Amino acid sequence: MGTLAGHILPGSFFLFFGVWWGYCMLRSYYLCRREASFSGRIMKSGSRYRSVLLFNTSCSLSCCCCRKLPFEAILVVTSCTIGIIGEAVTGFEGGKFVHLGNGQHITMYFFFAVMGLCSILVHYRFTLPPDLDYVSALLAISVEGILFLYHLHGRTVMDVQVHIFLMYVVAASAVSGALEMTHKKNIIPALGRAFFTTLQGTWFIHVGFILYPPSWMSHWNETDHEQMMIITMVFTWHFAAVFLLFFMIGVMVCTRVKYMSKAQIVKTLDLKAARHGTSMNGIGLHGSNMDAEQTRNIIMDSDEDEL
């Protein structure tokens, strides 16, 4: 990662997954609230919401087996594999592996690939300890933090500063993930994980431009105290930017779900339940208390409203 591209690539991965998780969490949460209102129940603190580590994507292919593939987990494993290969190839010089930093990056990618693999096994219902996917994610985040902690020897003061900030975000991600694992019916820890993952991505990319600016950008004075104070302010601005981004996503998702018909809500939740077996959020026709008669009534009421 000792280049601009080496920071943009992993930063883009964290940014993409963080925003995607935030969108999926908010969409699932608001769908649960609408479904609860249809059946005349009061939803207390998102009691019908149940978080998951990774989300399945909707697939336009008609093949049933394709629709049930854990695309996100597969994407994680694939991305990490590409990262491992890239770091391994560029780590050699003169036939010897001389860039030890690449070895650290390979280690980090490996543990995130293990997280994706565990999620795939959980998806296909292998006999595994409960919450193994969350445990593997916490392991990967912990390893990332340890590698960053001992990645700073001999660096400039500003270099150490920006990486220390990154370690704070990694630690916050780990805490959020642990809370989410033990409080799956509360969306706040889940959103915390998505928030800090997104923040990690934006800051990763910005650190690349700070330490390895392109030729058309001015260089930072990495030993100047005033410029380090500016860096601190910029880091807090990332918090504000990510918060506003999630706020806008929440407004967009809430508005979209608000104008969905009752039939669409029920169908969407039932499809989610079908893809996740016993219902990933504790919702849908299989995971809720709604029987077939209630479902038919909701759909009939929706049809009457549309007429």
* Confidence check: pLDDT of 35 > 90: no
pLDDT 10s digits, 159-185? 999 999 999 999 999 999 999 999 998
Q: Which residues contact 198 (CB under 8 A, 6 or more apart)?
A: 14, 15, 18, 19, 22, 242, 245, 246
What's residue 67's pLDDT?
58
What's residue 306's pLDDT?
46
What's residue 99's pLDDT?
79
Looking at per-residue pLDDT, the higher value among 203 and 44 belongs to 203
What's the angle, vertex CA 174, arms to CA 11 and CA 51, rounded to 5? 95
Q: Could you give the percent of the chain with pLDDT greater than 90?
A: 50
Global pTM reads 0.82
- In 3D, which of 152, 166, 12, 138 has the Cα closest to residue 82? 12
Helix (H, G, I), strand (E, B) or coil at 281: coil
pLDDT 10s digits, 245-303? 999 999 999 999 888 877 777 776 665 655 555 434 343 333 344 444 444 444 445 44
87 CB burial (10 A radius; 0-12, 13-18, 19+): buried
What's residue 271's pLDDT?
58
What's residue 269's pLDDT?
67
Looking at per-residue pLDDT, the higher value among 143 and 287 belongs to 143
What's residue 252's pLDDT?
96
The rounded radius of gyration (Å) of the Cα atoms in the chain is 22
Q: Please state the separation of Cα 156 from the chain's center in Å.
A: 31
Looking at per-residue pLDDT, the higher value among 301 and 139 belongs to 139
Q: Could you give the percent of the chain with pLDDT greater than 70?
A: 79
| Alpha-carbon distances of 78 from 53, 106, 115, 134, 266, rounded to whole Å | 17, 14, 12, 19, 33
* Confidence check: pLDDT of 226 > 70: yes
What's residue 15's pLDDT?
96
What's residue 280's pLDDT?
41
What's residue 55's pLDDT?
78
pLDDT 10s digits, 79-137? 999 889 988 888 888 888 877 878 888 999 999 999 999 999 998 889 999 999 999 99
In the chain, where the domains are located: 4-299
